[in-house]
Amino acid sequence: MEFQKLIEERRTIRKYSPESRITKEDLLAVIRAAQEAPSWKNSQTGRYYVVMSPEMLEKVRKDCLPEFNQKNSANAPALIITIF
What pTM did the predictor assign?
Answer: 0.75
Q: Which residues pair with 83 in a beta bridge?
A: 47
- Strands 47-51 and 79-83, by their bridges, are antiparallel
* pLDDT (0 to 100) of residue 52: 95
| pLDDT at position 84 | 72
Per-residue pLDDT of the chain (84 residues; tens, 9 = 90+): 688 888 898 888 888 999 989 999 999 999 998 888 887 787 777 789 999 999 999 999 999 999 999 999 999 999 999 887
- Give the pLDDT of residue 57: 96
Q: What is the pLDDT of residue 1?
A: 60
Nearest to 56 by CA among 71, 77, 72: 77
CA distance 6 to 54: 31
Quote the distance between the C-alpha of residue 41 and its chain's center: 24
